[in-house]
Amino acid sequence: MENSENQPPAKEQRNRRPVPTWRTSAWGSAWTSVVGTAMVAGFVGAGLMWVSVGSYESYGISLFCLSPFICSFVAVIINQWRNPAAGRDMWPVVRAVVGVLAVVTSMALLILSRGEGLICVVMALPFALVMALFGVLLGSVVIDLGGGRRPVPLLSVVLLLYPAIQHYEAASPAPAVAQLVTTTVTVNAAPAAVWRALMQPTNYPAASGWFRAGVVYPTRTAFALDSATGQRTLVCHYSQGLARLPVVDWEPERRLTFAVPPPAMPAPMRELSPYPDIHAPHLHGYFQVDSGTFRLRPLPGGRTLLEARTIYRHSIGPQFYWHWWSNYLLNAMHEQVLTTLGHRAESLSAINRTSTPAPLATVELSSSAAGTSATVYSTPNFHE
């Protein structure tokens, strides 16, 4: 009897409600659904990327455009199918967020599965997010038209199209178009002093920014002369290795051009990864520098316009996007080299005003010591 007296009336017990929490709220349920859906679609997107990277070793439209597009599209359809009421109530937020999270998840899984390094993923991320939003838009249209009620047939067709499109792209690659990057600096020294600075062994400052993260850059340059063949060679120490680049055009105090044979060029970057030995296929043969040129143009007042030109090509698409990245990085590399040479030329010019300069020394190397070949490499023509 005592226990029954202490119990609340039955009507009061029925009126009691559980205390609401964030997880049981409408927004909490929606975000839980978003995260789960993003994980599922992220695995789908990573699988598509592995088809391109692992099976075809292709870095083109399919990988950078179609895979994030399909990944976000799949995420939106699955999220609507799992929680249709929440999807209709909050679609401007949920559909966009689930698509973007799915693509970010897929790229993180690509890194964790040793398919790619962090640098390239960060470079590709802005374009991938744009394609993700287009996938979200198409998914929203399909849902509004009633196409998301039976997602399995729709998603099966979409996912089966990807390998077919990738196969066609790999069988018919777009031609690699030569690109020219030109950077200039004004040096407060005559062309003779600038040329002298260019001919001397030069150490370049420590890397920063993208170069410190792993993008290749020159650390030291010097010119060598093969006494047996008379072939001049630019010996360039890169952050990724050593390259001996034959000089193909030489006009003292005016211009100098060197070719870059494919075997001589080190990998364009060292990938950042939790694993020590990541060798993504695009690090070998997908980016090629054809030639480099230094030009000296006299200016009034004893100054010199020092110009660096690089001709390169790559087989990575979409080319307009990756050309922007390549141009940006090459221009930054040019600026570092030209600034260092300019400062040295100005110092030499100041010394020459007070003393007689020593004769220019040229390093002579035999063919065996230099490891060079008697083959003369020609520079591809580039029409401006």
Query: Which amino acid belongs to residue 55?
Result: S
Instruction: Report d(CA 175, CA 149) in Å as an integer.
Output: 42
Q: Is the pLDDT of residue 135 over 80?
A: yes
Go through the domains of the chain in sequence order and give each one's CATH number.
Answer: 26-171 (no CATH), 179-370 (3.30.530.20)
Count the neighbouring beta carbons within 10 Å of the beta carbon of residue 91: 19
Instruction: Report d(CA 253, CA 297) in Å as an integer.
Output: 9
Instruction: Report d(CA 342, CA 118) in Å as an integer.
Output: 34
Instruction: Report d(CA 314, CA 35) in Å as an integer.
Output: 37
Beta-bridge mates of residue 364: 225
Instruction: Report d(CA 103, CA 49) in Å as an integer.
Output: 11
User: Is 80 in a helix, a strand, or coil?
Assistant: helix
Please indicate whether residue 383 or residue 195 has the higher confidence score (pLDDT): 195
Count the neighbouring beta carbons within 10 Å of the beta carbon of residue 204: 18
Supply the pLDDT for residue 285.
Answer: 83
Supply the pLDDT for residue 324.
Answer: 95
User: In percent, how much of the chain has pLDDT > 70?
Assistant: 80
Which of 69, 98, 71, 68 is CA-nearest to residue 82? 98
Supply the pLDDT for residue 16.
Answer: 56
pTM (2 d.p.): 0.82
Query: Which amino acid belongs to residue 250?
Result: W
The pair phi, psi for residue 42, each rounded to 5°, is -60, -40
Please write the tens of the pLDDT for every residue from 260-311: 998 878 888 888 888 887 778 888 888 999 999 999 999 999 999 999 999 9
What is the band of 376 on the pLDDT scale with cuts at 50, 70, 90?
A: very low
Q: What is the mean pLDDT of residues 171-190?
A: 93
**Dihedral (CA of 200, 258, 177, 182) sign:** positive
The pair phi, psi for residue 213, each rounded to 5°, is -70, -25
Q: Which two tokens stand for residue 69?
A: 């597009």
Residue 209: which region, alpha, beta or left (left: phi > 0; alpha: psi -120 to 50)? left
Please indicate whether residue 85 or residue 109 has the higher confidence score (pLDDT): 109
Residue 133: which region, alpha, beta or left (left: phi > 0; alpha: psi -120 to 50)? alpha
Q: What is the mean pLDDT of residues 165-171?
A: 93
User: Is 253 in a helix, a strand, or coil?
Assistant: coil
Supply the pLDDT for residue 165.
Answer: 94
Q: What is the mean pLDDT of residues 14-36?
A: 60
Q: Which two tokens stand for residue 332?
A: 């930054």
Which of 215, 289, 238 is CA-nearest to residue 259? 289
Count the neighbouring beta carbons within 10 Å of the beta carbon of residue 29: 15
Please write the tens of the pLDDT for every residue from 206-258: 888 888 888 999 999 999 988 888 889 999 999 888 999 999 999 999 999 99
What is the band of 364 on the pLDDT scale with cuts at 50, 70, 90?
A: very low
Q: Is the pLDDT of residue 85 over 80?
A: no
Mean pLDDT score of the chain? 82
